[in-house]
Amino acid sequence: MWYDLIEKSDPEIFGSIKKEVGRQRNSLEMIPSENFASAAVLQAIGSALTNKYSEGYPGRRYYGGNQFVDEIERTAVARAKSLFGVPYANVQPYSGSPANLEVYLALCKPGDVICGQSLTDGGHLTHGWKTSVTGMIFKSVQYGVGDDGYVDIEGMRRIILKNRPKLVWVGASAYTRAFPFKEVWDASNEVGAYVAADIAHVAGLIVGGVHESPVDYSHIITTTTHKTLRGPRGAIIMVTQKGLDKDPELPEKIDRIVFPGMQGGPHDHTTAGIAVALMEASKPEFKEYAQQVVKNAKALAEGLKKRGIKLVTGGTDNHIVLMDLTPFGKGKGVFVQDALDVVGITVNKNTIPNEPSSPFYPSGIRLGTPALTTRGMKEEDMVAIAGFITDVVDEVKANELPSDKAGRVACLKEFKAEIASNPRLLEIRGRVLELCGRFPLYPEITA
Ligand code: DSN
């Protein structure tokens, strides 16, 4: 048993871990940024490496005793360089948001103009959204999507040419189509901007050859390591050959800003987990996995459409499907997310382009297939899941949000209490449990 020591020493925390492992096993994890790291990755991040301090870089640390940590970090860096085809990688960023901030601080000064895809059009907070520090300390201009849900290429070009940003981001968190790497690169080159591709969502798909790589269309690439890449929570910053050609000092600038600029000691246990995940991602089985993630997303999209659900862009090229619930009214995402929770389908409510409601009460639901594909599910399972989801939507779509804040809070409280014992939802819960039972998760963990 994996958690036998915690069980003895701290039954309270053991109980919570056990319940969470059970939740992961008995529900359908469809948040597209989540995945199930392998048991080998879990062992690496649960190792005694967590005890070490290693400020600095391999061969030049501030503390002694780093000979084995050096081996691990050198291996992780070499694997990242080889897997993504880049000349430089830093594996120390604590996670995606600090990695992106490190890129800004390496290249820009406060007040510089920066550009990225708007959060409400699927972009990420750290690409200059107003409530992120990146939108507060830099002058952020944002591009978005057109009425068809695809990035508005002409609009993006106009914004870049007019505002002449220092740094342009390409990449997003709720976008179901291929990222326009070349188009952003071409526009940015016209004004001499640095291009940073944030591939956090699609890194595993790139490795698997089912999404284009930005290696020829960016100076810098950032990624988290825990989404489609299926590693531990962490991040990597890479510099491409194009980046080195533009600025040979980029690697040094990034190294210096990661440490000592923004971070202290790297999380060596995470570095080991990243190294293990990168090794796993280099295997032929991982390519099959990535291909299946996209096949599953397409099957899910088709299944939902057949049952009358509208999708942003009408489908998907990647691992994400974005349901547009506006045909049933505005702000329905919150009801559907809560009802899906009752049946054991874990998703997140999400804004849709031209959102008629608000980010907290949005009109969309974001779905993803990376975690279900790791469990071994295939297209026919996605079709079944599309049926569960549409049954849930049908059950709750008539609920209306009051327009005032206090009314909304009371309405949602009442709604949650009602759905917990809704017979139709409980019947669907039974079908979800039966499906989960056919795809065991973490047989290595006996807790
Ligand atoms: N929170 C991540 C996501 O869900 O897409 C992005 O950082």
| pLDDT of res. 326 | 97
Q: 127 CB contacts (<8 Å, ≥6 apart)?
A: 100, 116, 117, 119, 134, 142, 169, 171, 198
Which of 29, 30, 31, 33 for a ligand 1 pocket mutation test, highest count of atoms within 8 Å of Cβ?
33
CA 299 to chain centre: 21
Q: Whose Cα sits closest to atom 6 in ligand 1? A: 173
How many angstroms separate the CA atoms of 81 and 276, rounded?
14
447, pLDDT greater than 70: no
Flag whether the pTM goes above 0.85. yes
Q: Average per-residue pLDDT in the chain?
A: 97
Fold of the 284-437 domain: Aspartate Aminotransferase, domain 1 (3.90.1150)
Task: Say if strands 348-350 and 364-368 run parallel, antiparallel, or are unpaired.
Answer: antiparallel
> Average pLDDT for residues 199-222, to the nearest whole number?
98
7 is catalytic: no
Edge-to-edge order in the sheet of strand 310-311: 310-311, 320-324, 364-368, 348-350
How many angstroms separate the CA atoms of 132 and 118, rounded?
12
| pLDDT of res. 446 | 77
Q: 421 CB contacts (<8 Å, ≥6 apart)?
A: none
User: Which amino acid belongs to residue 407?
Assistant: G
> Average pLDDT for residues 172-193, to the nearest whole number?
98
* CA-closest candidate to residue 298, choices 386, 212, 227, 209: 386
Task: Say if strands 235-239 and 88-90 run parallel, antiparallel, or are unpaired.
Answer: antiparallel
From the CA of 34, give the closest atom in ligand 1.
4
H-run or E-run covering 341:
helix 333-343
How many angstroms separate the CA atoms of 124 and 249, rounded?
27
The secondary structure of residue 11, as a DSSP letter, is: H
* CA-closest candidate to residue 26, choices 365, 446, 370, 429: 429
96 lines ligand 1 (CB under 6 A): yes
Which of 173, 179, 223, 229 for a ligand 1 pocket mutation test, highest count of atoms within 8 Å of Cβ?
173
| pLDDT of res. 323 | 98
String of DSSP letters for 271-322: HHHHHHHHHHHTSHHHHHHHHHHHHHHHHHHHHHHHTT-EEGGGS-SSSEEE
What percent of the chain is modeled with pLDDT above 90?
97
String of DSSP letters for 100-114: HHHHHHHH--TT-EE
How many angstroms separate the CA atoms of 339 and 327, rounded?
18
Q: What are the structural domain ranges in the chain?
A: 45-281, 284-437
| Token reading at 249 | 């000092």
Residues 397 and 325 sit within 8 Å (Cβ to Cβ):
yes
| pLDDT of res. 174 | 97
From the CA of 173, give the closest atom in ligand 1.
5
28, pLDDT greater than 80: yes
* Active-site position among 81, 233, 256, 408: 233
> Average pLDDT for residues 394-412, to the nearest whole number?
94
233 is catalytic: yes
Which of 94, 100, 175, 227 for a ligand 1 pocket mutation test, highest count of atoms within 8 Å of Cβ?
227
Count the Cβ atoms, other than its own, within 10 Å of residue 244. Answer: 16
Q: Is 139 helix (H, G, I), strand (E, B) or coil?
A: strand
Residues 317 and 177 sit within 8 Å (Cβ to Cβ):
yes
Task: Say if strands 364-368 and 320-324 run parallel, antiparallel, or are unpaired.
Answer: antiparallel
Residues 420 and 340 sit within 8 Å (Cβ to Cβ):
no
34 is catalytic: no
227 is catalytic: yes
How many angstroms separate the CA atoms of 351 and 373, rounded?
25
CATH 3.40.640.10 fits 45-281, yes or no: yes
> Average pLDDT for residues 431-437, to the nearest whole number?
98
224 is catalytic: yes
| pLDDT of res. 1 | 57
pLDDT in tens, 287-314: 999 999 999 999 999 999 999 999 999 9
The secondary structure of residue 49, as a DSSP letter, is: G
pLDDT in tens, 106-115: 999 999 999 9
pLDDT in tens, 227-266: 999 999 999 999 999 999 999 999 999 999 999 999 999 9
161, pLDDT greater than 70: yes
* Burial letters 333-345, b for 16+ CB under 10 A, else e: bbbbbbbbbbbbb
326 is catalytic: no
From ligand 1's centre to the CA of 6, what distance in Å?
A: 30
Q: Whose Cα sits closest to atom 5 in ligand 1? A: 173
> Average pLDDT for residues 72-85, to the nearest whole number?
98
pLDDT in tens, 30-48: 999 999 999 999 999 999 9
Count CA atoms within 13 Å of residue 90 on its CB side: 29
User: Which amino acid belongs to residue 162?
Assistant: K
